[in-house]
Amino acid sequence: MKYPNGSQTSELMQTIQYILTPLEYLDKCAKTYGDIFSLRLIGFPPYVVLSNPQGIKEVFTAAPNLFYAGEANKYLPQTILGASSLVLIDGDYHQRQRRLLTPAFHGERMQAYGQLICDITKQVMSKWTIDKPFNVRSSMQDISLQVILKAVFGLDAGLRFQQLKQLLSSMMDVFSSSWSSSFLFIQTLQWDLGPWSVWGSFLRFCEQADELIYAEIRQRRNDPNLFGEDILSFMMTACDEEGQPMTDVELRDELITLLVAGHETTATALTWALYWIHYLPEVRESLLTELEVLRSNPEPTDVARLPYLNAVCSETLRIYPVTLFTFSRIVQAPVQIMGYQFEPGTMISPCIYLTHHREDLYPEPWCFRPERFLKRQFSPYEFLPFGGGNRRCLGMAFAQFEIKLVLATLLFHQKLRLVKFHRVKPVRRGLTIAPPGNLCLIPTS
């Protein structure tokens, strides 16, 4: 079998380049080899990168048993998510878990959290001081963590809330640099060398989070009066076709997946959006003009429908998507894609970043232009910040709703400016791509 062309440098060199300078490396490969090419990464099977919309469509619309995504993701550490996480399972089990989880993320359910999102945003804003810089990521992570904890657990203040909030933040901050992020990709680095080592501290944060999550589950089991409108309550009362609910282990694995994915990615997207809005004055002015129409009494659902706000959020997720790839898929039976025959065991990864920078789809792709999304509707194989197919992110509607409401609330109530007015470069943060951690804004009167 002939694989697509790719770099002939060693696995070690390709892995280092992918971890330390991922955007530059992917751009270089795409320029050299086109929209389908091979990578060789330490610890991974044959790896094919795909950024052709037609090829991506073939992957996303294939029968579920032709590609397994859960198996592919097992090449990344399972320590935090757990073996029964929706991210790490396939086949009938994946379909069962997804059916159990989907009702909790129905669009109408998410809208019930609108006022909660706005209130939390105002509470975090109240900590800012006029003419005193604040770290954008820290504030956005504060908002997203509170939102996800209250939406998922229904927790509002209290010791367990504060402990989980601190632990989740600390867990993600372990991998805040390119160097520490390498521990997520290279299994030989994943040794517990004590609480002061990278992997050791991460494992201890995970253990502490597990204790708090299981304690919350037990408390709900023992006192049904604690059930409410939060996502955990819906998950605990959901049953499959045979009347079986999720076990405590399954609940824990899905909860930690929601908590980690639901706050880290949203905080990053919000940080990028605030950067672009204040880097490009014309974008901010256009947003303020659109928002002014609702200033008298803005309802969250009305805010979420604003076209230019939606375009700004979409362009934010296009230019620097939080994750570079959708969930990878491992081929289970011989399949042909874009003229190549792939055998079982091949890993195929649709690349969000490269697809979002195709000049035939997005002219001048490095320019931030929300108008793209007002002039054209892109297919789910051309614009795919939340993945696609049967692996599209369950929390997509919730994340989009939250991002829009946070941005609108900030623009309604606070004037801000960048501390340093310059084009920032993305950096690796764990499995994601984020703005530099020192990005700051200043509240002005």
Q: 23: domain range?
A: 11-444
CA distance 6 to 66: 24
Split into its structural domains, the chain has a count of 1
Q: What is the pLDDT of residue 401?
A: 93
Q: How far apart are CA 412 and CA 430, in angstroms?
A: 33
What does DSSP say about strands 440-444 and 134-135: parallel, antiparallel, or unpaired? antiparallel
pLDDT(78) > 70: no
Domain membership of residue 4 (yes or no) is no
Is the Cβ–Cβ distance between 37 and 48 less than 8 Å? yes
Whole-angstrom distance, CA of residue 337 vs CA of residue 339:
5
Q: Does a structural domain hold residue 429?
A: yes
For residue 303, pLDDT over 70 is answered with yes
Flag whether 6 is in a domain.
no
> Is 80 within the bounds of a domain?
yes
pTM of the model: 0.93
In a domain, 3, yes or no: no
Within-domain flag for 180 = yes
pLDDT at 264: 87
User: What's the mean pLDDT in 141-164?
Assistant: 84
**Residue 5 belongs to some domain of the structure:** no
pLDDT at 417: 95
* pLDDT tens string 201-247: 988 988 998 898 999 899 888 887 778 778 888 888 889 888 899 99
Q: Residue 325 sits in a domain of what CATH number?
A: 1.10.630.10
In a domain, 404, yes or no: yes
